[in-house]
């Protein structure tokens, strides 16, 4: 430690010892033992004070070294930042994927919502009365035409058939007798042995016997039908509903017949929908009358527009109440997954196919109320282009009706790194229609 004049200061321990010696000289001789103890305590305190000062000095040196190192680093960083271009590498332009617009013949479509219905649907009713003895299907089962569904107790109707057959046999015997009598009367009348009136009577009995035979035949046919109606079969192939009767149920076939179940056909199947007058006129202008029209159909849970059908019916008038035209398309349902009553979307062409430019719908960006595509120019500069959109094609491509050229290189990958005016490295790839 230095004094103000620059000379070294005496150690703190020496000063303390001098003070102790001065105080010891002024004391009386009788206190010699106490003075000796005071001197020892002062020496101990001096030693502790020196140790503390040494520790403080070490801390101060370390802090100073840290400050010097920080100042040197800051000075070096400032020198490095103040000299741009010395040892720095310019960043490389971002890499993006570009493609030319896809050009294909595309027809304009309009979409409707329709509901599927069965081509054939039947409510099965009992035609004869009796007890149900057999049921040969499960609820919801798919059956084929002619499959046996129900059996009503046939025994009463077998009895009726036997009675009808007996009556027909009786009538046939009566007719045979009448024929013989007429033949014999005709011979006797020819010889004058029998009056003509008797011949007329026998002829009348012959005609009555013929009528009785016909009546008996009809009774036999009716009895056969009743017996046939005891076996209810599927009138066509389709899916069964739930059964409404059980084995042992008494059903009626007379007035108020008992409902047994219902059946609907599934393949093919109808799709009914209504179109507005404007859509009907646009369709008629685009598609000549009598020309077959293929429509595309989309169902929930399936790939959009994965099914096709044929428009086979347009109503003969526009409904006055709703101002719509009823239409119907028929589509195949080979896997039987479509059921009547299901809703579906259908679209039909309203213009002939013509060349259109398309770009991926994912490449479009929204700028307030407009849509833009990022286009890379020949020098690698990114330029936004405002475009007008058309229909969305089922392969994810969007029809661009205005604002895009066939030679524009549209950015299809790497859009998040772009901004207008940025230089990029463009990699050209072809667009696939699928």
Which pLDDT belongs to residue 370? 86
pLDDT bin (cut points 50, 70, 90) of residue 329 is very high
Residues 265-269: what's their mean pLDDT? 93
Backbone angles phi, psi at 187, to 5 degrees: -65, -45
Tell me the mean pLDDT in the region 214-241: 94
CA distances from 236 to 264, 272, 313, 331 (A): 8, 22, 23, 18
Q: Is pLDDT of 59 > 50?
A: no
Tell me the percentage of the chain whose pLDDT exceeds 70. 79
- How confident is the model at residue 203, as a pLDDT? 86
Task: Decide if 418 contacts 382 (C-beta within 8 A).
Answer: yes
Residues 235, 427: Cα–Cα separation, whole Å: 64
Using alpha carbons, select from 393, 403, 402 the residue that is nearest to residue 433: 393
124-136 residue pLDDT tens: 999 999 999 999 9
Q: Which among 103-107, 260-264, 291-295, 389-393 has the top mean pLDDT?
A: 260-264
| Cβ pair 420, 383 in contact under 8 A | yes
Of the two residues 254 and 251, the one the predictor is more confident about is 251
Cis peptide before 268 (omega within 30 of 0): yes
Q: Which residue has the higher pLDDT, 302 or 40?
A: 302
When comparing pLDDT for 226 and 390, which is higher?
Answer: 226
> What is the three-class DSSP state of 406?
coil
pLDDT of residue 25: 42
Among 61-70, 152-161, 261-270, 286-295, the minimum mean pLDDT is found in: 61-70
Instruction: Supply the DSSP string of 83-105, one letter for each residue.
Output: STTSS--PPPPPEEEEEPPEEEE
CA gap 289, 350 in Å, rounded? 13
Least confident of 81-95, 217-231, 339-353, 417-431: 81-95
Torsion angle defined by CA atoms of residues 2, 4, 5 and 6, in that order, rounded to the nearest 10 degrees: 20
Work out the angle at residue 429's Cα, subtended by the Cα atoms of residues 423 and 432, and round it to the nearest 5 degrees.
140
Average pLDDT of the residues in 183-193: 81
Question: Residue 2: what pLDDT?
Answer: 41
Q: Which of 110, 8, 128, 96 is nearest to 376 (CA)?
A: 96
What is the average pLDDT value for the chain, to the nearest integer? 80
Neighbours of 94 (CB within 10 A): 15
Greater pLDDT, 66 or 59: 66
* Lowest-confidence segment of 54-63, 269-278, 367-376 by average pLDDT: 54-63
pLDDT-based confidence at residue 51 (cuts at 50, 70, 90): low
* Model pLDDT, residue 433: 64
Question: For residues 269 and 135, is the Cβ–Cβ distance under 8 A?
Answer: no
CATH architecture of the domain 97-105+354-428 equals Beta Barrel (2.40)
Res. 394: pLDDT tops 80: no
| Lowest mean pLDDT segment, chosen from 11-15, 207-211, 285-289, 383-387 | 11-15
Let me know: does 246 contact 311? Beta carbons within 8 Å.
no
Cα–Cα distance list, 406 to 280, 303, 354, 398, 410 (Å): 34, 30, 15, 14, 10
147: Cα within 13 Å, side-chain hemisphere? 16
Task: Report yes or no: 234 and 145 within 8 Å, Cβ to Cβ.
Answer: yes
Confidence bin at 21 (pLDDT 50/70/90): very low
> What is the rounded end-to-end Cα distance, in angstroms, of the chain?
90
Three-state secondary-structure class, residue 165: helix
What is the domain partition of the chain in residue ranges?
A: 12-80, 97-105+354-428
How many helices (H) does the chain have, and how many strands (E)?
A: 5, 23
């Amino acid at each position: 430690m230095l004094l103000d004049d620059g000379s070294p200061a005496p150690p703190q321990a020496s000063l303390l010892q001098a003070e102790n010696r001065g105080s010891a000289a002024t004391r009386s001789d009788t206190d010699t033992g106490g003075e000796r103890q005071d001197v020892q305590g002062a020496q101990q305190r001096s030693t502790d004070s020196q140790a503390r000062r040494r520790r403080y000095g070490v801390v101060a040196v370390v802090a100073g070294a840290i400050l010097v190192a920080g100042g040197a680093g800051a000075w070096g960083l400032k020198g490095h930042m103040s000299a741009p271009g010395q040892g720095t590498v310019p960043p490389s332009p971002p890499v993006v994927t570009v493609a030319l617009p896809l050009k294909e013949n595309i027809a304009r479509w309009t979409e409707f919502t329709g509901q599927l219905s069965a081509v054939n649907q039947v409510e099965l009713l009992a035609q004869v009365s009796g007890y149900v003895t057999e049921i040969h299907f499960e609820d919801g089962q798919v059956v084929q035409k002619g499959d046996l569904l129900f059996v009503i107790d046939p025994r009463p109707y077998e009895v009726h058939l036997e009675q009808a057959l007996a009556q027909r046999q009786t009538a046939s015997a009566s007719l045979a007798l009448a024929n013989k009598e007429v033949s014999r009367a005709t011979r006797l009348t020819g010889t004058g042995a029998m009056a003509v009136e008797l011949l007329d009577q026998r002829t009348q009995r012959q005609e009555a016997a013929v009528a009785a035979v016909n009546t008996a035949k009809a009774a036999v046919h009716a009895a056969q039908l009743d017996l046939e109606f005891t076996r209810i079969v599927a009138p066509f192939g389709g899916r069964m509903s739930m059964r409404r009767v059980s084995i042992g149920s008494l059903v009626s076939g007379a007035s108020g017949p008992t409902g047994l179940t219902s059946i609907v056909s599934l393949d093919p199947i109808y799709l009914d929908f209504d179109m507005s007058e404007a859509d009907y006129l646009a369709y008629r202008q685009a598609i000549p009358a009598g020309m077959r029209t293929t429509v595309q159909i989309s169902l929930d849970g399936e790939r959009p527009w994965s099914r096709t059908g044929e428009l086979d019916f347009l109503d003969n008038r526009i409904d006055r109440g709703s101002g719509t035209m009823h239409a119907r398309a028929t589509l195949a349902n080979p896997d039987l997954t479509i059921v009547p009553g299901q809703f579906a979307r259908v679209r039909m062409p309203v213009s002939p196919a013509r060349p259109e430019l398309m770009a991926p719908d994912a490449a479009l960006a929204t700028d307030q109320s407009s849509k833009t595509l990022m286009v890379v120019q020949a020098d690698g500069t990114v330029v936004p282009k405002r475009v007008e959109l058309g229909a969305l094609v089922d392969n994810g491509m969007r029809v661009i009706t205005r604002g895009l050229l066939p030679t524009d290189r549209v950015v299809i990958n790497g859009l998040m790194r772009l901004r207008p005016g940025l230089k990029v490295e463009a990699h050209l790839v072809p667009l696939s229609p699928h």
